[in-house]
Amino acid sequence: MADLSVNLNGFKLKNPIMTASGTFGYCDEFEDFLDVSKLGAIVTKAITINPKKGNEGERIFETQKGMINRIGLENVGIKEFIDKKLPVLKEKNINFIMNLAGSSFEDYIETAKIAQNAKIEAIEVNVSCPNVKSGCLEFGTTPESLSKLTESIRKVYKGFLIIKLTPNVSDIESLALAAQNSGADCISAINTIKGLGIKIEITPDKKFKKTFVQGGLSGRCIKPVALSMVKRIKSMVKIPIIGIGGIATLDDVLEFLTAGADAVQIGTENFTHPDICEKLINELNHLLDELNIADIEELKRKLRE
């Protein structure tokens, strides 16, 4: 059997297949469909200092090969996460990364402190969600603001620190470099792309009824953008990269590893194929055995030759 394990700067995964934040719940919601403990890791829904109800109105809009969401980071808050969700993760031995978001600089720091005190091994800092009124994206679009936030979190949080970058910028390279130089252990890329969905219906009285959903575009349609940005980030940083964006098949996983990713997160595909992560792990294992490749490091070397 090939060795699928991955070491991301000291944070160890059974394999390079993870779930993306906001697409897999908090811990065991998908147990009816797959063995969650087999995954490299799950990334929780974004956790904020206080509970959030999320946005009102229509929050999901299907597009060709993707979807637009404006959920608005609905979550239970850090206290309930630690009291009720964390024990389940530990009891079931599920490797996880807590996604962390905030509406203000102070929110991020306080939540990171609580994560440190709770001995949460890894956090993914969300500075890239485009569908909230304040926070997240405003901290992740300039190297200066990202550096300040990353340095401040690093002072209070000693675990594995991932910065999740936005594609809604012109110079993602400078942001990746700022994250690395400010103490990040790893970069995940990309979050969703700003998009607008419009649905037009004709009413019985022959008028147009219009529905607008503006939020984050995800799914297979964004894969070329994600691949490009992972490759650009790889040219600038030495820390590991987690690739995200439109992954649905083993070929997609191989493409991200070729572009420079060390592991991947599966997002939108979980909604239509809830067993996709376990399926990809099995297919990856079979491929390495078939090609007589010993481990993921050898696979990456061959893909990048």
Q: Is 27 a catalytic residue?
A: no
- Pick the catalytic residue from 129, 186, 221, 277: 129
Q: What is the DSSP string of 69-81?
A: E-----B--HHHI
E strands in 86-245: 96-100, 122-126, 160-164, 186-189, 193-202, 208-218, 241-244
Return the structure tokens found at 83: 């009291």
* DSSP letter (8 states) at residue 20: P
Q: What 3-state class would DSSP assign to 164?
A: strand
The Cα 36–Cα 89 span in angstroms is 10
- Tell which residue, 211, 273, 251, has the closest CA to residue 68: 211
State how far the Cα of 250 lies from the Cα of 283, in Å rounded to an integer.
Answer: 7
- Residue 50 C-alpha from the chain's centroid: 21
For 100-110, b/e burial (b = at least 16 CB within 10 A) is bbbbebebbbe
Q: Show which residues are catalytic.
A: 129
